[in-house]
């Protein structure tokens, strides 16, 4: 069990550019979640997948954001036409089925995005 | 809409003190509650998870309690150490979904 990994750890980009982040969940974890955290705030939910199906999206996930989990393993989060307000830490988490439900979420180290 | 509040926002204590962090939530229809630790610029480390049917969970020097009916949870840290310095976040998962709703955290500093 190597934990949730995220790549890159840091990304600096210019306004208007597209960026893509990757998340590798803990192996055999069916659910994968994306959250966003701005400085001094708690994380906010963006979206989650069960296997390859995207089951829920927050209203925070504007049309410029898209997430995929094509084979039910790793996931990518793409932000198109980045804006300075997109600067944040993007956190990925995963969980596995435990009995009748999914419980504990385990988080990765995050990707810090800075939009200049 | 679920709202989670953590008090205090910041806390500074001398090493060795026992301390309590508070978390409150507005909708008692929760499935579970998790406490996390976050070091500066890092991801979240899960500390304790309490199911809605449970009253408390313990791990080492940490004890978390849950009073679902009053919408409150506390994290008790015994014999605090400088290495406990971090931001502590609580998060609730509602019965209606899988997302976690987080508080803004309590920034703890334990002074040697």
Q: Which residues pair with residue B67 across a beta bridge?
A: B72
pLDDT digit string (tens) for B48-82?
999 999 999 999 999 999 999 999 999 999 999 99
For position A53, what pLDDT does the model report?
93
pLDDT of A1 above 60: no
Average pLDDT of the segment spanning B86-111: 94
pLDDT digit string (tens) for A41-65?
999 999 999 999 999 999 888 899 9
Would the CB atoms of A35 and B100 count as touching at under 8 Å? yes
Distance from CA of A110 to the nearest CA of B (A): 6
Contact A37, A44 (CB under 8 A): yes
Tell whether B51 lies on the interface with A, counting CB pairs under 8 A: yes
Closest CA to B31 of B62, B1, B54, B59: B54
Would the CB atoms of A108 and B43 count as touching at under 8 Å? yes
Q: Average pLDDT of chain A?
A: 93
pLDDT digit string (tens) for A59-108?
888 899 999 999 889 999 999 999 999 999 999 999 987 766 667 899 99
A-chain residues near B39 (CB < 8 A): none
Tell whether B95 lies on the interface with A, counting CB pairs under 8 A: no
């Amino acid at each position: 069990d190597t934990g949730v990994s995220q790549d890159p750890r840091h990304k600096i980009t210019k306004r208007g550019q597209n960026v893509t982040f990757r998340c590798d969940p803990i192996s055999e974890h069916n659910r994968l979640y994306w959250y966003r955290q701005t400085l001094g705030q708690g994380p906010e939910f963006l979206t989650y997948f069960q296997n390859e199906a995207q089951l829920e999206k927050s209203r925070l996930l504007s049309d410029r954001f898209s997430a995929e989990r094509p084979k039910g393993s790793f996931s990518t989060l793409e932000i198109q036409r980045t804006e300075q307000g997109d600067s944040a830490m993007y956190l990925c988490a995963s969980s596995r089925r435990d009995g009748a439900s999914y419980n504990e979420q385990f988080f990765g180290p995050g990707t810090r995005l800075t939009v200049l | 809409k679920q709202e989670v509040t953590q008090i205090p926002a910041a806390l500074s204590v001398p090493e060795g003190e026992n301390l309590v962090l508070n978390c409150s939530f507005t909708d008692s229809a929760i499935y579970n509650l998790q406490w996390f630790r976050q070091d500066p610029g890092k991801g979240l480390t899960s500390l304790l998870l309490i199911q809605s049917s449970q009253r408390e969970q313990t791990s080492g020097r940490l004890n978390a309690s849950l009073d679902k009916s009053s919408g409150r949870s506390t994290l008790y840290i015994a014999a605090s150490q400088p290495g406990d310095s971090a931001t502590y976040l609580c998060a609730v998962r509602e019965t209606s979904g899988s997302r976690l709703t987080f508080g803004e955290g309590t920034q703890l500093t334990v002074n040697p």
